[in-house]
Structure 1
Amino acid sequence: MSDSRFAAIVIAGLCLVVLGLSAFTVNERELAIKLQVGEVVQTDYEPGLHWKIPIFQTVRKFPKRIMTIEDERPERIFTAERLALQVDFFVKWRIVDSVQYYTSTGGVQQVADGRLSEIIKNAIVTEFGQRSVSEAISVERAELMRDMLETAKSAAQGLGVELIDVRVKQVEFPDDVRNSVYRQMREERARVAAERRAQGGEIAEQLRSTADRERTIILAEAYRDSQKLRGEGDARAAEIYADAYNRDPEFYAFYRSIDAYRNSIGQSGDLLVLDPKNDFFRYLNNKNGAR
């Protein structure tokens, strides 16, 4: 092989190497920045083929997708009641400013994860510390996570990232305080139950007292009305008897005697020991009722 041909092959190979070192690609799932001697000289690359100066310029690529941070060890925090809780959380985030992200974290995702975890932990401590246990785990759970996200977002902006969501996966009492907390909860429930029973007993006693009073009033009014009606009936009966006697005294006496016979003799097993000539039998002994 001649020297000129060999030189041409070497030159062509060097050109291919330089070309290979100068070209780089960016896909839809990546963000890229170009560095020249450690200084950012270009950002916001569109997906496709791009060029750089070999050796003097380098390219750093970062994921464009949404990433997740999951807390490996539940955090121990304290509520407004000074009760300890173990909070397990996860975070969704993404890079929005590649230059600021590179400047603040060196482009290392582990560094970004660590700093974001600390930001979220501080937000959790702040928000849980302003709420009681019941507010943190039930009543204001949605509001709590919203406030945590808002608190952490402002701190995360300095990293060139955007926090998309912060979620509390699990909230538990630590082993060293769980039994005491459950005991306090049982005592509190027992106190509330005793208070409710006392209130119920008081209301029941009031209802019974009211019912007894109303019963007494109703019976007294009924007895009064019955006595009034009985008196009116007796007066009317006496009036009828007097009127009947005045119209026909003999018939009145006969009717009363017949009525007396019916009431005294008409029952089975009745026994009367009387003188046959007793005035009681005058209508039986004499059809005219003469004595």
Structure 2
Amino acid sequence: MSPKSLAIAIVVFIGVVIASNSIYIVKETERAVLLQFGALDRADIKPGLHFKIPFVHQVRKFDARVLTFDARPERFLTVEKKGMMVDSFAKWRIRDVNTYYTSTNGDELRAETLLAQRINEGLRNQFAQRSLLEVVSGERDQLMTDLTNALNEFTNSSLGIEVVDVRVKRIDLPDDVSESVFRRMTSEREREAREHRAKGREQAEVIQADADRQKAVIEAEAYRDAEFLRGEGDAKAAAIYAEAYNQDPEFYSFLRSLRAYKETFKGRGDLLLVDPESEFFRYLNDPNGVQKN
């Protein structure tokens, strides 16, 4: 290779090196700061293609996505001074790159260490204000919400971090504490069950009383209607009998006599002493029913 070609190759190589050190890219999932001789020059560089001065500027990039911090289990005391082992985790992300870099030097491990201290302190304060039953079953969601809000008041301004959420994965209780908690929870559930049963019995009695009342009303109305219809029928029957009797009184008088004879002499052992000239033997003595004087 000639000296001229070698010189051109060296110049091209130097140009490529300078260009590669002058251009940097910030992704959508990253946050970045620009340092000049180690001092902060530009904070919160937007995603995209950017330029810098080689050997003068240095770029520090940080993950801008929501990160998960899994805390170590810690022992906390409730308001009754009962201890429990609490295993928790937190979701966080960078909110202010300038504050984050200044307070943690851009070290994610240091940021999580500082965050863990605040989470443990917040959990300790929150647990100390609540009973064991409230922590285990009653107010855990409210506890986490209060803790998240309290953490953000500090981390936003001091660490440049936003705490998205804090959750308790597991709470382990000592055997004696667990037994007392379970007994209290069992008695509480039994009390609620008794209340539901009592309300059910009360509603059942109300429904039964209403059904009995409706039954009595329906039966009374049905009996009233039946008596009314029966009375109308009896009245119509009596009217029909009266009208028929008036058409031929002698025939119906004879018919009544036959019925009377039938009812009187239907038993073989019956004995009757009657005057033969009485009205009873009117049609037996004379087919025309003429009564002798």
Q: Give the structure-2-normalised TM-score.
A: 0.59
Change (3 A) 1:213 1:93: closer
Q: Deviations over 1:16-72 (max 9, x none)?
A: xxxxxxx89976465453456xxx3644485656224xxxxx979463444432112
Q: Is the 8 A contact 2:126 2:147 kept in 1?
A: yes
Tell me the equivalent position of 1:151: 150
Change (3 A) 1:24 1:150: farther
Tell me the equivalent position of 1:51: 55
Measured in 2, the distance between the counterparts of 1:95 and 1:240 equals 105
Measured in 2, the distance between the counterparts of 1:156 and 1:34 equals 27
Tell me the equivalent position of 1:250: 250
Corresponding position: 1:241 with 2:245: no
Change (3 A) 1:50 1:94: farther
Change (3 A) 1:158 1:210: closer
Change (3 A) 1:232 1:42: closer
**1:22-37 residue pairs with structure 2 within 5 A?**
28=26, 31-34=33-36
Measured in 2, the distance between the counterparts of 1:165 and 1:241 equals 99
Q: Deviations over 1:169-220 (max 9, x none)?
A: 5254524433332322221221111122122222222333333344344434
Corresponding position: 1:187 with 2:181: no
Q: Is the 8 A contact 1:105 1:159 kept in 2?
A: no
* Number of aligned positions between the proteins: 253
Change (3 A) 1:50 1:212: same
Change (3 A) 1:259 1:74: farther
Q: Give the structure-1-normalised TM-score.
A: 0.60
> The residue matched to 1:93 in structure 2 has which SS?
strand
Change (3 A) 1:72 1:86: closer
Tell me the equivalent position of 1:116: 115
Percent identity over paired residues: 31
Measured in 1, the distance between the counterparts of 2:93 and 2:219 equals 79
Measured in 2, the distance between the counterparts of 1:280 and 1:63 equals 131
Tell me the equivalent position of 1:206: 206
Amino acid at match of 1:111: R
> The residue matched to 1:51 in structure 2 has which SS?
coil
Unaligned runs of 5+ in 1: 1-22, 53-57, 265-270
Tell me the equivalent position of 1:9: none
**1:259-270 residue pairs with structure 2 within 5 A?**
none
Amino acid at match of 1:118: Q
Corresponding position: 1:68 with 2:72: no
The structural deviation recorded for 1:86 is 3.0
RMSD after superposition? 5.0
Measured in 1, the distance between the counterparts of 2:54 and 2:280 equals 144
Measured in 1, the distance between the counterparts of 2:284 and 2:223 equals 42
Q: Is the 8 A contact 1:88 1:168 kept in 2?
A: yes
Measured in 1, the distance between the counterparts of 2:231 and 2:130 equals 79
Change (3 A) 1:59 1:272: same
Q: Is the 8 A contact 1:64 1:95 kept in 2?
A: no
> The residue matched to 2:164 in structure 1 has which SS?
strand
The structural deviation recorded for 1:155 is 0.7
Amino acid at match of 1:90: A
> The residue matched to 2:54 in structure 1 has which SS?
strand
Unaligned runs of 5+ in 2: 1-20
The structural deviation recorded for 1:250 is 1.8
Q: Is the 8 A contact 1:76 1:84 kept in 2?
A: yes
